[in-house]
Amino acid sequence: MKRSLQGQLLRALGLTILVTGVLAGMVSFRFAYDEGEDFQDDTLRQIAALVDTEFLRHNNGLGLPIDRDIDPETRILVSVLPSKQVTWISSGLSAGFHTVQGPEGAWRVFVRPGTRGKIAVAQVIDARDDLALHSALWTLVPLLLLLLLLMVLVAHVVRRELAVLPRLARELDHQSPEQPEPLRAQAIPAEVVPFMLSINQLLARIRTLMETQRRFIADAAHEMRSPLTALLLQVQNLEQSAPSSLSGRIKPLKEGIVRTCQLVEQLLSHARSQVGSTQWVPVSCFQLGRTLVSDLMPLAEARHMDLGLECPESLEVVSDPQLLLLILRNALDNALRYAPEGGEVTLRIRTEGPCCVFEVEDTGPGIPEDEKLRVFDPFHRVMGSNVSGSGLGLTIAREAAQRLGGEVSLQDRAVGSGLVFRYRQPLRRDFLFGSDVDTVEKKSNDPILFSPQPPLQTLKNP
């Protein structure tokens, strides 16, 4: 079971406050008890000093009459010793204070010698205890209220100060695995700074390692592109001039070089999708879709496929246009290659709450359920597929989507066979990162356009 630092602090501080409150209450009661004792003794002494023995003996030497209606705990008895009324006070008591057992319990008695005898002033000790308890309660009640308020304030302060830890955890969760950024040192307690600096150093090392790996892949792919292109041209020239008897041997060679060229291009796209800053600008979804359909129309016509676009003309999304093109181009290219000839592929763009949804729907064979997550792994290809490819298209799309803060998924078509590639991203950047994140400035407020052609609602190839 994981221990909670916040819970431990609250328990420790709460126990400390509780023990402190109990000790303060005990000390307060003791002080109040001592004060009550002193108050009772002072009262008895002052009354004894004011009483005249001649006045007390006016009642045949019996002292002051006792009023039975007065509360016994607050009643004060004054008598000349020896007394016939107060027989339980011995006339042999010396001057000063004494504790004597009387008819109603223990009594506090003060004896003072007078001109014609001893004067005894007495009061029940319970009166002193009641006074001490009353004083202690008046002291303890505000103290307990202050302790409760203190516990609430301590809990609030602890939660507020430790809230920086979940914030740092959320920042780490939102880090791009390809381009980790250092954590922001804003309102960080001094005790957390070393921990945060160590994490930032680790993130910097990871970033350097990833950049080195991407640079190597990009450089290697770039170095391979030129010789492969030249080799492909030579094979094409050889194919045109070679006798028909060699055509069967040249064709597999040419197809292999074409596949290698495609792999190199995808490696370059893969490297480009992981580097560079993200440019957040308004993007016209309709113009974006029309550009994609126009670029991929030759492939659709070569395979006799129906390639269409469904998108509102006014729909816009704040995104990086190049990364968005990369995601949808790879999804459309996969759909056009894996769907059977004569099939249909539709790019559908719509809104869903605060998000923009891009869907590429095809009429192909689909993907088995257990393969739908694995197809996003680099170089993974579905078993039984006869289509040539590198297995990088969906990997590139997912990594570009992660940089944009969106999510990609694969679903079966609702009706008939086929697959739906789905990319979902917030329409505005503040839904994704919060309002405190700056947006890349742009000279014009107009959305990014991809084609000067007139707007159309739906594009379909004949």
Ordered structural domains, the chain, with CATH: 5-157 (no CATH), 177-276 (1.10.287.130), 279-460 (3.30.565.10)
Would you state the pLDDT for residue 452?
35
**Exposure pattern of 139-171 as b/e (b: 16+ CB <10 Å)?**
bbeebeeebeeebeebeeebeeeeeeeeebeee
| Tens-place pLDDT, residues 305-362 | 999 999 999 999 999 888 898 899 989 988 898 888 889 999 999 999 889 999 999 9
Which long-range contacts (C-beta less than 8 Å, at least 24 apart) are formed by 44-50?
A: 44/76, 44/97, 44/108, 44/109, 44/110, 44/121, 44/122, 44/123, 45/110, 45/112, 45/121, 47/76, 47/78, 47/121, 48/78, 48/110, 48/112, 48/119, 48/121, 49/112
Would you state the pLDDT for residue 293?
92
What is the average pLDDT value for the chain, to the nearest integer?
77
- Tell me the mean pLDDT in the region 420-441: 64
Q: Are 184 and 167 in contact (CB under 8 A)?
A: no
What spatial distance separates the first Cα and last Cα of the chain, rounded to whole Å? 65
Residue 312: φ, ψ to 5°: -65, 140
What distance in Å separates the CA atoms of residue 80 and residue 204, rounded to the nearest whole number?
A: 96
CB neighbours (10 Å) of residue 248?
A: 8
- Tell me the mean pLDDT in the region 222-233: 78
| Tens-place pLDDT, residues 41-86 | 888 888 887 776 555 555 544 444 445 554 555 677 787 777 676 7
C-alpha neighbours within 13 Å on the C-beta side of residue 408: 24
- How many angstroms separate the Cα of 243 from the Cα of each of 7, 22, 161, 246, 257? 84, 106, 81, 6, 20
Which residues on adjacent β-strands are paired with residue 361? 346, 420
| Tens-place pLDDT, residues 155-212 | 888 888 778 788 888 878 777 666 677 877 777 777 778 888 888 888 888 888 877 8
What distance in Å separates the CA atoms of residue 22 and residue 63, rounded to the nearest whole number?
A: 46
